[in-house]
Amino acid sequence: MIVAAALPLVAEYGAAVTTGQIARAAGIGEATIFRAFKDKSEVLDACVAEALGTDHVLRTLGSISLDEPLAVRLAEAAEAVRAHLERLGTLVGALHASGHRRGGPARPGDRPPPDSRTPDGRTQSLAALRDSVAELIEPDRDALRLSPEKVAAAFLGLLFARLRKPIAEDDVPLSPEELIAVLLHGTLTHPGSAR
């Protein structure tokens, strides 16, 4: 409850958020925060851990109707993943801009603490995301040249690349619809016509 109330405040104020603001948003007394957390830094770290978690996006992906056409399912999946990454980016960006580093505030000359997310943890999160997208693709397995898992991996790769900073200033990223069209139909007007 405390972390859920804190997340939007941390995204807005970064590390400048006060425990009083968090307590008011959670509808609790400020002392209650310190029964659950050692200090504000620990609350902020819990917010980062919550934002990094994939439970929310996996629930959203799991709620997409398999009765919809594949392109519609993938468009909904693209929106769910984009929203997840945007929430994460906003929160982490606000904390970084306000000087917070995991484990406490940054001090001049400090090296960043080691990332507590292990390579295995990242791999497991990405695999769960891929598997969830593959489940959305599975009903169309017979129409695909690749397995749903490979299509899901390609979809996520294209989606993550789309969300990165453009190569040039005038680059316009693919819309979700364009990304899905490229994934499902390629870039040739008439497949098989290129040499």
> Per-residue confidence of the chain (195 residues) as pLDDT tens digits?
899 999 999 999 999 999 999 999 999 999 999 999 999 999 999 998 888 888 889 999 999 999 999 999 999 999 999 889 888 888 888 888 888 776 544 434 433 433 434 567 778 888 999 999 999 999 999 999 999 999 999 999 988 887 666 677 777 777 888 889 999 988 888 766 666
In a domain? residue 73: yes
Q: Is the same domain home to 10 and 94?
A: no
Burial class for 145, CB neighbours closer than 10 Å (0-12, 13-18, 19+)? exposed
Q: How many alpha carbons fall within 13 Å on the CB side of residue 176?
A: 14
Assess if residue 194 is contained within a domain.
Answer: no
Residue 61 pLDDT = 97
CATH of the domain at 26: 1.10.10
- Residues whose CB falls within 8 Å of the CB of residue 13, separated by 6 or more in sequence, listed in order: 21, 94, 98
Q: What does the pLDDT read at residue 67?
A: 97
Decide if 189 is inside a domain: no
Task: Indicate whether 81 and 160 sit together in one domain.
Answer: yes
Q: Is residue 110 part of a domain?
A: no
* Structural domains in the chain (count): 2
The residues, any chain, with a CB within 8 Å of residue 33's CB and separated by 6 or more, are 2, 19, 22, 23, 26, 43
pLDDT at 164: 66
CA distance 16 to 121: 29
